[in-house]
């Protein structure tokens, strides 16, 4: 209980500071970084999400928000601090998520309309 407010403050501080820190990344590099850092484990290889983690793509959250959340996650998601995930890799991951196509409307998939 003592730690949570500190993390919240840190998250807000990171959110405010993030626009300067987050650079545009490479989707190709991001695809590899996404696997290397284990994002796929809870969110799936194409960010589709599941019972273990929410969907990340398409339309990922803005890079600043993603950075703030990833660095300071205090809920079910474990935090990824800079020692284990660099700013560059994080920017690449965001670029990868941004590159993923929109999912089809379920109404266009016969198997989802039995």
Partner 1 sequence: MARKDPGPKADRRRFLTGVVAAGAATAMTPVRSADVAAQAPRVPSALPPSMHVAQAETGTPRELARVKGIPGSDFMVDVIKTLGIKYLPANCASSYRAIHESLINYGGNRMPEFLTCMHEESAVGMAHGYFKVAGKPLMTLCHGTVGLQHATMGIYNAWCDRVPVIVVGGNDLDAATRPPGVPTFHSAQDINALVRDFTKWDDTPVSLQHFSQSFVRAYKIAMTPPYGPVMISLDAGLQQEPMKEHGEKPYIPRYVPTAPPQGDSGAVKEAARLLAGAQNPVIVADRAARTPNGMTLLVQLAELLQARVIDQGGRMNFPRTHYLSAPPAAVSGADVIIGLELSDFWATVNAYTDNAMKEGIGTNSTRIKRDAKLISISSVDLNTKANYQDFQRFQVIDVQMAADAEATLPALIEAVKSAIPNERKAAIAQRGEAARKAYAEGQERTRQAAALGWDASPVSTARLCMEVYGAVKGLDWSLVASEGNVSNWPNRLWPLEKYHHWLGRSGGYGVGYGAPASVGAALANRDLGRFSVSIQSDGDLMYAPGVLWTAAKHKIPLLAVMHNNRGYHQEVMHVQRLSNFRNRVANLGGDMGPVGTRIENPDVEYHKLAESMGWWAKGPIKDPAQLGPALREAVKVVQAGQPALLNVWTQPR
Kindly list the residues in this chain that would bind partner 1 in the complex (CB under 8 A): 1, 3-4, 35-36, 38, 40-42, 44-52, 55, 73-76, 78-81, 83-84, 103-106, 109, 111-114
Cβ atoms of 24 and 83 closer than 8 Å? no
Cβ atoms of 79 and 72 closer than 8 Å? yes
Cβ atoms of 66 and 11 closer than 8 Å? no
Q: At closest approach, how far in Å is the CB of 59 from partner 1?
A: 11
Q: Which is nearer to partner 1, 19 or 50 (CB)?
A: 50
Q: Which is nearer to partner 1, 20 or 110 (CB)?
A: 110
Dihedral sign, Cα of residue 28, residue 32, residue 38, residue 43:
positive
Place of tokens 């990344």: 25
Q: At closest approach, how far in Å is the CB of 70 from partner 1?
A: 10
Q: At closest approach, how far in Å is the CB of 114 from partner 1?
A: 7
Q: Which is nearer to partner 1, 20 or 114 (CB)?
A: 114
Q: Which is nearer to partner 1, 20 or 108 (CB)?
A: 108
Q: At closest approach, how far in Å is the CB of 107 from partner 1?
A: 8
DSSP 73-112: --SSSPP--TTTS-HHHHHHHHHHHHHSPPPPPGGG-GGG
């Amino acid at each position: 209980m003592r730690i949570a407010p500190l993390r919240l403050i840190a998250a807000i501080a990171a959110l405010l500071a993030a626009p300067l820190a987050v650079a545009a990344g490479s989707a190709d590099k991001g695809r590899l970084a996404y696997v290397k850092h284990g994002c796929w484990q809870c969110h799936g290889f194409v960010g589709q999400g599941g019972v273990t983690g929410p969907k990340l793509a398409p339309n990922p959250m803005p890079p600043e928000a993603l950075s703030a959340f990833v660095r300071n996650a205090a809920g079910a998601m474990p935090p990824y601090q800079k020692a284990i995930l660099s700013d560059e890799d994080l920017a690449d991951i965001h670029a990868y998520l941004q590159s993923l196509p929109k999912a089809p409307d379920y109404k266009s998939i016969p198997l989802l309309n039995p």
